[in-house]
Each structure stands twice: as structure tokens, then as C-alpha cells.
Amino acid sequence: MSVYRTPNGKAWRAFLKYRGHRDSRTFTRRQDAVRWLTEQKSEIDRGSWLDPARGQIPTRDLFERWLATRDIEGSTRRNDRAIWHAYLEGPFGRRPLASISAPMVREWVAGLMTKNGLAAPRTKRDALRVLRGVLAYAVEDGRIARNPAVGIKIAGTKGTPGQALSLAELRVFVAALKPPHHEIALVLALAGLRWSEIAALDERDAMRDDDGRLFLAIRRRHVLDEEGKRVTLPGTKGGRGVTRMVPVLPELVPIVERHLTGKPDAPLFPSPRGARLDSRHWRRDGGWKEACEVVDRVGLRPHDLRHTAATAWLRMTGDLKAVQSLMGHSTASMTLDLYAHVLNDTLTRAADMMAKGLADAANGEPLTAGEPLEIAEGS
């Protein structure tokens, strides 16, 4: 490491050599050159120094590497690649990783355009998610010090996740579906399963605990691969080795038991032809569109029945951890982010109950069914 005056005598050059890497910077003032070298030495001493040359590769070179490391379904991989080519290849493909800054990312996402005009918040969120993932991989690979896409938020992407039917609407909706397709809808709406999960269930996945309670073991997914073919993969969205046990409510027990034929490897809920369920055929043959019109819910998706389950369980139990387990969310905060609006309703009802209890106490009535609550002075 050294600092010397340039041949013309008008500037100062700082020279760094470390582990085969050579770098030099030119400064107008000597103290600036010394400060830069001091910063580099401090980074080396802390073990956080990065070779600037590693951050000079084009961002597109890291995209495929990042995509290959992701444990995701083929359809998700195909979608991420489409997002990259549509929205990221142009502005970032040739750009060196180290040249991407937070203001640059913020300006890009704010002005993101599609063929129909300014991109919708959801499109912006998906494009930012892909860029953030590539840059996070670059940080892990020691190419850049920090991820410039972290902390950038997209307005308008939070809120109620899809649609959720009330229990009264659910009854009408299920009754409007053609049998036996209505049974699948009821399982989705009360057990909170994803379509890929109910399609992957085998008869052996219906099991009882020591008390005789019936559960569904969610341990596989039936999904589209990158070529559009349907395949069954091990694990849940929580990971390849993750199994989720979903309790079967009494209303669903007869449905599950009717589908048990004594063939452990057979689909628990087969199509009319005995194959794995296909959502397109199921909706078409079951009269999905017509049932949506009956409850005036145009645009309702099978996945919205999962939202119906989460909403109903939260409203009726108020138990966030139980719903997290039911839905297979990795954290309670994820459940809270998705369904905070439901907990607000629950909290409002709890506040009403609390107010009633306090009013009863003021009238001399006990706060509980037992002895009146006594509060000691000073407590």
C-alpha cells in the first residue's frame, strides 16, 4: 500500500496490492488518498474486504446461478425467468453488479412499464423480488458488500390476500357445485390446503392419532415442472423434509372415510378417471364458474378457499399460532402479515366482551362464572 504524487504533480494516487489484487485510485488531495487506503486496510483487518473485480461481472451472469440454487417448483422457476427477461434483462443484464445502487433500483421500480402502461404494484413487487434475490446471492458470493434492493417497498401490495368467503357464502357456494366436486371444495375451505397439496394426497396420508382423531399428513406437492408437465415432489412449500399434520374437522371425516378404498398408494381424492386431480378439469366439470356467479364472487380462485379457511379459523378461534400451523406458514409473522385484518375483527369483539365484563362488574355482578375477582390494593 502506498500513496505517491502523479507525474504531472497535480494529483495523488493510492495504490493497493492484496492477495493478487491490484487497485489504484487517483485523488486531488493527498488526505483523500490516505483515507481511501486506510478504509481498505480496515476492511482487510475486519475480514470484510471484497475484491472489486468480483463485482464487475454483468448481473445477467449471476441470474442463472441464483435460479439454479432455488428449491422451487418448476412453474415458479419458469415464471421467475419470464420476469427476468421481461423487466430486468434490459436495465440490469449488462450492468456490473457493483454499479447497482439503491437510488437506481428505486427509480427503476417506480417507472417500471409494461406493454399496457405503468406496471401494477403486484408486477413491480414480483420484479423487485427477482432482482433482490439475485443481489442477495451476489452478497453471499462475496461480490458486493450489501444488497441495494433491500428496504425498497412497493405501495399498494399489502392488504387482504385474495378473496375469502364467509361461512354462510361457503355453504351456498359448495351447494352450487356439482357432486362429487363439492366435497373437494369443502376440504379446501375447511382444512386450508393448497391445490398442489390436496392433489398429492394418497390414502396412506389419512391417519389417526392415539385418541382416534383423523389427520391429513401433508408431505408432497403435485405441481407443474418447468416444461409444463405435472410431477409430484416431496415436501411442502416449507421445505423438502417438512410434513404438516392437518386436523380433519368432524364435518370432513365422512368425506375422507368415503375415499378410503384400502389402497395406500392411490390418490385420496382422485379425478373421475382415477388420476390425480387437475384444477382446470375440476373447475370445468364441477361448475365452478356458475357457483361463483351464485355467490356473486366473479374471479374467485380455488386458492381463495385456502384464504377462506385461514379467515374462518382465525375469526372463530383467535389463535394465531394454531392458524400458522394449519396453513404451514414458516413464521407467525407471515400469518400476521397476511391476516392482520381478521385479527383486528377478533380484537374488536374481544374489546366488546371486555367492556361488557367491566360494565357487569360495575353493577356488582361477578366478572367470571365463579367468585368475583378481587384486586388487592397496590397491585
CATH number at residue 127: 1.10.150
- Count of domains in the chain? 3
224 & 130 share domain: no
pLDDT reported for residue 61:
92
Q: Output the 3-class SS for 187-222.
A: HHHHHCCCHHHHHHCEHHHEEECCCCCEEEEECEEE
Separation CA 250–CA 99 (nearest Å): 59
8 & 64 share domain: no
Separation CA 304–CA 301 (nearest Å): 5
Q: How confident is the prediction along the chain (379 residues), in pLDDT tens digits per residue? A: 677 778 887 788 877 776 666 677 788 888 888 887 787 777 766 666 667 777 888 999 999 999 988 877 777 888 999 999 999 999 999 999 989 999 999 999 999 998 888 988 889 999 999 999 999 999 888 888 889 999 888 876 554 457 899 999 999 999 999 999 999 999 999 999 999 999 999 999 999 999 999 999 999 998 877 667 788 888 887 777 788 999 999 999 999 999 999 999 999 999 988 899 999 999 999 999 999 999 999 889 999 999 999 999 988 888 889 999 999 988 888 887 788 777 777 777 777 878 888 888 877 665 454 444 443 444 3
Domain hosting 9: range is 2-49
The answer to the question of residue 271 being in a domain is yes
Separation CA 146–CA 319 (nearest Å): 38
CB 157 within 8 A of CB 125: yes
pLDDT reported for residue 86:
94
Separation CA 269–CA 212 (nearest Å): 21
CB 13 within 8 A of CB 4: yes
Half-sphere exposure of 207 (CA within 13 A, CB side): 13
Q: Which residue has the cell 351456498?
A: 172
Amino acid at 349: R
101 & 197 share domain: no
The answer to the question of residue 147 being in a domain is no
43 & 64 share domain: no
234 & 92 share domain: no
Secondary structure letter of residue 55 according to DSSP:
G
pLDDT reported for residue 376:
43
Separation CA 6–CA 132 (nearest Å): 41
229 Cβ neighbours under 8 A, 6+ residues apart = none
283 & 196 share domain: yes
Helix, strand, coil shares, percent, the chain, to 5? 50, 15, 35
